[in-house]
Amino acid sequence: MGKIGRIIGLAQTGTKNSQKKNLRRQAVMQLLLLSALLILLNLISSFIFTRIDLTAEKRFTLSPATRQLLRELDDVVFFRVYLDGEFPAGFKRLRNETREMLDEFRAYSDNIQYEFINPSAAKNNKDRNDLYRQLIEKGLAPTNLQVRQDDGTSQQIIFPGALARHKEKEAPIQLLLNQINTPPEEILNLSVQNLEYNLANAVRKLHNPGKHKVAFIQGQGELGEAETADIFQSLGDAYIPERVNLNARLNSLTERDLSDTNKVIIKNKYRALIIAKPDSAFDEKDKFLIDQFIMRGGRVLWLIDPVFASMDSLQASEETIGISLQLNLEDQLFRYGVRLNTNLVMDLSACPIPVKTGQIGNQPRFEFYPWYFFPMVIPQPVHPVVNSLNAIRLEFASTLDTVAAEGVKKQILLTSSPYSRTVNTPTLISLQILREQPDEKQYRGPGRPLAVLLEGPFQSLYSRRIPPEIAENKGIGFLESGEPTRMIVVADGDVIRNQTDHQRGVPYPLGYDRYTRETFGNKEFILNAIDYLCDDSGLISVRSREVRLRPLDHTRIHNDKLSIQLANTLLPVILVLGFAWWQIGRRNRKYARPKRKPVHPAP
């Protein structure tokens, strides 16, 4: 029996050794197969590019327009981002999101390079102030932060922006949005939300090989060079702006295409027209030129005041009269699908103006009062043109209505606040209303439409209205209906007018109010409008993307602070120890030697 027991023990030991060898062999084979699979996946990924975005808003998925733009780059675009240093948590998030977005750009183009710079890292004040001055001159706006420290608070100047350079051209990028009466967390979230568009738009401006021409129409009392100087210069970054006086000239907006010698082809010279606050009637010949420009696919930004009211006469005598303007555009705009009303909007959400209230010695005393005829419009996220914009400042704005136009799609872009009303013209406008408490019952109802986007194939105003010798003239090339195009109509011409520093003779940035020293979103609105009208790549649609805030419940954090701390510190440790104890017990049970039965000697 002793020999038999030893033989059985040896057999069991051999079986265990054989099992261990098999387990080792299986483990080695699994490791080799896994390694081969990883190598194969790497080889495949070198030929097939793909990325997986697991976020709910697809925040790391670039739009097709952005990807196409990046693939077309022929040279390096270098970003200098001035968001390095010690910041509060919100700005750290903006910095990290900017870096991640630029890394996403680099995944689609090797021509994207960047560096992060701390503009306050200079050792002496002179070098630091010189860099600050250079950044301001290049278009970056500084932000003054209050930083809490152990011994109190300190001021910190940061430049939440970047400079993009491509070949010999450079473009500033403001990464932090400016929003009036918006919580800081929401501003930072909106800034993150617009990162892709701001960065990609800068690339588009720098790389754009052929700029579109944009024309400011002159000749009917439109805003002059000084009043549109800032937007004219800003448009020059991505377009070629010009000023054109129609004068009933057939070639003022169009030109002949001589590439085909067999037939006469007439095409537009400009991609878009800007008609900014005319104050006199349009001649029918000039209207005909604009109409045929639209029929050939041209785009128009109409900035029209249906009512004349002057702040100059109001400040001089404290009273003025608002009267309707006869611009001879009513039938043309009606044909395209919109009607401008001869009224004025009064809004309790209004921009303030300085009013003289007395004398202090020899100096006049001024106080600020909200002027109900200057609506402060808060854009709603209804369209990429107005999404995430700062409040827009209007002056003596009117309302508009949409009317039936076959095939034309309408989208209201701007409305007054729910606390607004309208007054029909002619009407007396007096500063006396500032001294009276407004009757809020009169300022009720839905917001009044102030701006509208029209898209579709428009019908000519002159269809069946002109003689055959004009309609059949090949040199004119009259079209009764046009190809699909776009136009934006705003019932206020001052939305594009910049204020001027009369002492220095230089224009203020569009949207800047020299009295309150606040900057409104007028410039961004005009630039977005022109981008949407002119750019068919769809890049501006990126602005409609929404990154949602998911804030913590601060009340629950305060009430359950101890339990949350324990759950986040002790629970992981307990789980790890419990898993380790279970794993050790499992291994002991699996590999423990079976107890040998006692072998009794033969009697």
* Helix intervals (H) in 48-88: 64-71
pTM to 2 decimal places: 0.78
Which residue is listed with tokens 């003239």? 473
Q: 462 pLDDT exceeds 90?
A: yes
Structure confidence at residue 62 (pLDDT)? 82
| pLDDT surpasses 90 at 493 | yes
Closest CA to 235 of 301, 289, 165: 301
Place of tokens 């095409």: 267
Which residue is it, tokens 């209505």?
401
Predicted confidence at residue 3, as pLDDT, reads: 57
pLDDT tens-digit map of 565-588: 888 888 888 888 888 888 888 877
Confidence of residue 318 (pLDDT cuts 50, 70, 90): confident
422 against 148, higher pLDDT: 422
Q: What is the DSSP string of 167-202?
A: TTEEEEEE-S---TT--HHHHHHHHHHTHHHHHHHH
Closest to 515 measured CA to CA, from 353, 312, 361, 398? 353
**158-190 core/surface letters (b: 16 or more CB in 10 A; e: else):** bbbbbbbbbeeeebbbbbbbbbeeeeeeebbbb
Q: Which residues of 526-544 are buried (b: 16+ CB within 10 A; e: fewer)?
A: bbbbbbbbbbeeebbbbbb
Mean of pLDDT values over 130-140: 88
Which residues lie across from 169 on neighbouring strands?
Answer: 166
522 — pLDDT class (breaks 50, 70, 90): very high
In this structure, the number of other CB atoms found within 10 A of the CB of residue 557 comes to: 10
Strand-pair category, 420-424 with 254-257: unpaired
Which pLDDT belongs to residue 351?
A: 92
Percent of residues, the chain, with pLDDT higher than 90? 41
pLDDT at 336 over 60: yes
User: Is the pLDDT reported for residue 17 higher than 70?
Assistant: no
Checking if the pLDDT of 456 tops 90, the result is yes
Contact 161, 172 (CB under 8 A): yes
Confidence of residue 192 (pLDDT cuts 50, 70, 90): confident
- 352 CB contacts (<8 Å, ≥6 apart)? 368, 369, 370, 371, 515, 516
- Mean pLDDT of the residues in the chain: 85
Distance separating alpha carbons of residues 185 and 183, to the nearest angstrom: 5
Beta strands at 272-276 and 212-218: parallel, antiparallel or unpaired: parallel
Tokens encoding 357: 């209230």
- Ordered DSSP codes for 286-338: HHHHHHHHHHTT-EEEEE--SEE--HHHHHHHSEEEEEE---S-HHHHHHHTE
pLDDT of res. 515 = 87
Q: Residue 329: how many CB atoms within 10 A of its CB?
A: 21
Residue 8 reports pLDDT greater than 60: no
Q: How many CB atoms lie within 10 A of CB 212?
A: 17
- The span from the CA of 172 to the CA of 67, in Å, is 21
For residues 495 and 394, the answer to whether their CB atoms sit within 8 Å is yes
**For residues 20 and 591, is the Cβ–Cβ distance under 8 A?**
no
pLDDT in tens, 207-230: 877 789 999 999 999 999 999 999
Residue 212 pairs in a beta bridge with: 239
Give the pLDDT confidence of 247-264 residue by residue, as tens digits.
Answer: 989 889 998 876 666 677
Q: Which CATH architecture fits 64-201?
A: 3-Layer(aba) Sandwich (3.40)
| Comparison of pLDDT for 154 and 282, the residue scoring more | 282
Which one, of 433, 222, 396, lies nearest residue 307 by Cα?
Answer: 396
| Contacts by 16-20, CB closer than 8 A, 24 or more apart | none
**Which one is predicted more confidently, 513 or 14?**
513
Domain boundaries, the chain: 64-201, 213-345+380-520, 563-591
Q: Stretch 433-460: mean pLDDT, rounded?
A: 91
Q: Say what the pLDDT of residue 50 is.
A: 60
* Tens of pLDDT, residues 364-412: 788 888 999 999 999 988 899 998 888 999 999 999 999 999 999 999 9
User: What is the pLDDT averaged over residues 432-448?
Assistant: 87
pLDDT: which is higher, 238 or 551: 238
Q: Are 156 and 145 in contact (CB under 8 A)?
A: yes
Percent of residues, the chain, with pLDDT higher than 70 = 87
Q: What is the pLDDT of residue 258?
A: 67
Which has the higher per-residue pLDDT, 574 or 557?
574
Q: Which pLDDT does position 180 carry in this prediction?
A: 72
Specify the range with the lowest mean pLDDT, choosing from 37-41, 123-127, 469-473, 538-542: 538-542
